[in-house]
Structure 1
Amino acid sequence: MIEVAWKKDLARRFGEAAQSYETQSEVQQKSAKALADRIAASVLNKKTLRILEIGCGTGYLTRELLKLYPDAQWWVTDISADMLAKCQSSLSDEIINPECRSSFSSTEFTPTLDLSKVNFHAMDGEAVDLDGPFDLICSNMAFQWFHDLEGTLAKLSGLLSANGTLAFSTLSYGTFGLWHRCQKELGIERLAPEFPDAAFYHRCLNGLDIETSQQKFVQCHKDGLDFLGTLREIGAHSSRVGRSRLSVGQLRSLLKKYENYFTGNHIEADYDVLFVLCNRDYQR
């Protein structure tokens, strides 16, 4: 029941962040483009594909892949109905009025795509209620929120068609490294889960043809409060179940310690993003 409550809170937080998400989610936008480039090199547009996207957010990855696979049959999903609605409206606005594109949208986006082939569906990515098989299951920066990541990977890979591809980006070990180091030095319990490294995914997807690559993204902030504000604006500010909130004094000490590591007029937050592509049937 606690985990169910946490999932509901997660959906609520992302829903509240839907309108401001694209003004703050610089890393998510960059990782979507990087993931789309990797998918383009692996998944050929040889036939009408069935594509399932998990955790679409406001549509960063959706926009990139619609350019690559305009004839595909799509199921675009998110745990937050508000995020899903924002994604749908953004795509519609860009197609009808390309001058209204988000500042993060690619200039190559084609305003003649047929959204009648895109099904928008509110759904928890850990509880897929759609029937496969899918030729491509993809996700940008959502898997780090999963409670049973190993079990979900098994379920998703089981929904792939013959030679289907599972492709995703996710936060990896090392993300917010300095932030967590400051917590440890102050004796503060780690506020966020420790994200898995590439070896975890190789173990979980053992027997599949799997390729992993890692890329570090750095986002600058004017101070520690601005960093926390960005997490809040993208819905990523709450800790997981069982972690108590910081006192005001603890938060002040943590922010001061973090800021003291930087000497310029800004601070930095590091994101270690892992890209995973695997094929269901091809084995090494």
Structure 2
Amino acid sequence: MTDRHAQIARAFAGARDYDRHARIQRDVARGLAARIAALDLPESPRVLELGCGTGFLTEALLDNGIGGDWLITDIAPAMVERCRARLGESPQRRFAVLDGEYGAPEGGPYDLICSSLALQWFDDAPAALGRMKDWLAPGGHGLITTLGPGSFAEWRAAHAAEGLDAGTPPFAPVEAFAAIDPENLVVENVVETHPDARAFLHALKAIGAGTAAPGHRPLPPAALRRVMATFERSTCKVTYEVVTCHVHRARGA
């Protein structure tokens, strides 16, 4: 695990109020689960989930009747345990700590690899998605959601208006994912409104998403207050550019 991934894992381990603040994450997970439920999967698929968090996607998939043999993973041990507590023990569900970018899962190949809003934390998400295709069984599917560079545009614009750079992580361009499979890519903008800038920043920290871009230095308090005031004048809306990627391994491949 890299130092940055360890930092991200610590941030999510401390996100004890995740479920109450992660409204977008819950909605995106449910939408992804509906897409997966429409696939032609085996009756008892082998499933790998990366970045399970507290279990939004896992629970939604089970509610949609996706059974089988599961390996449910996250980079943060605390999140793995919270997902286990949400779902309960079962012989068909294994839980493990896994760095989905630099680690390798056990028990493959898989009929389904899924992940909801985790790959944006990878150092090279498109390359990692390409490698995941090798973990699929013939006929298998990989469906993931991640964030595109249009995410948090309003917060970055508030910084730019003050001549400053925001600390939002760098998100891989949509074109990089389209190069993997351009016919199976969906880009949607989801907008969330916060009461004020303080509520937005608190929500990010509460879900463990406060890790800044590498090399970013926190703003001095006076500069941050100016950015917050500019952000509030733009009605406190925050855009999430949600990129849904679907990779498929052909039978016989």
* Shorter-normalised TM range: over 0.9
Query: Any idea what SS the aligned residue of 2:127 has?
Result: helix
Match of 1:83 in 2: 79
Residue 115 of structure 1, CA deviation: 2.1
Match of 1:257 in 2: 230
Query: Any idea what SS the aligned residue of 2:216 has?
Result: coil
Q: Deviations over 1:42-101 (max 9, x none)?
A: x22432211000000000000011233453100000000001101110112xxxxxxxxx
Match of 2:247 in 1: 278
Q: Which amino acid aligns with 1:15?
A: A
Q: Which amino acid aligns with 2:155?
A: W
Q: Which amino acid aligns with 2:118?
A: A
Q: Which amino acid aligns with 1:66?
A: L
- 1:139-158 matches, within 5 Å, as 139-158=115-134
Which whole-Å CA distance do the structure 1 matches of 2:196 and 2:92 have between them? 44
Match of 1:269 in 2: 238
Question: In the alignment, does 2:133 pair up with 1:133?
Answer: no
Match of 1:33 in 2: 30
Match of 1:44 in 2: 40
Asked whether the 8 Å contact 1:231–1:237 carries over to 2, the reply is yes
Asked whether the 8 Å contact 1:165–1:280 carries over to 2, the reply is yes
Query: Any idea what SS the aligned residue of 2:103 has?
Result: coil
Match of 2:174 in 1: 198
Which whole-Å CA distance do the structure 2 matches of 1:26 and 1:252 have between them? 26
Asked whether the 8 Å contact 1:45–1:68 carries over to 2, the reply is no
Q: Paired residue for 2:139, among 163, 185, 194?
A: 163
Asked whether the 8 Å contact 2:109–2:135 carries over to 1, the reply is yes
CA RMSD of aligned residues (A): 1.8
Which whole-Å CA distance do the structure 2 matches of 1:46 and 1:4 have between them? 36
- 1:234-245 matches, within 5 Å, as 234-245=207-218
Query: Any idea what SS the aligned residue of 2:163 has?
Result: coil
Which whole-Å CA distance do the structure 2 matches of 1:164 and 1:30 have between them? 25
Which whole-Å CA distance do the structure 1 matches of 2:13 and 2:138 have between them? 35
Question: In the alignment, does 2:28 pair up with 1:55?
Answer: no
Q: Which runs of 5+ in 1 are unaligned?
A: 93-113
TM-score by length of 2: 0.93
Which whole-Å CA distance do the structure 1 matches of 2:67 and 2:152 have between them? 39
Residue 192 of structure 1, CA deviation: 1.5
Match of 1:7 in 2: 5
How many equivalent pairs are there? 250
Which whole-Å CA distance do the structure 1 matches of 2:97 and 2:124 have between them? 19
Query: Any idea what SS the aligned residue of 2:9 has?
Result: helix
Q: Deviations over 1:181-207 (max 9, x none)?
A: 11122121231234234321121x1xx
Which whole-Å CA distance do the structure 2 matches of 1:31 and 1:155 have between them? 23
Residue 166 of structure 1, CA deviation: 0.8
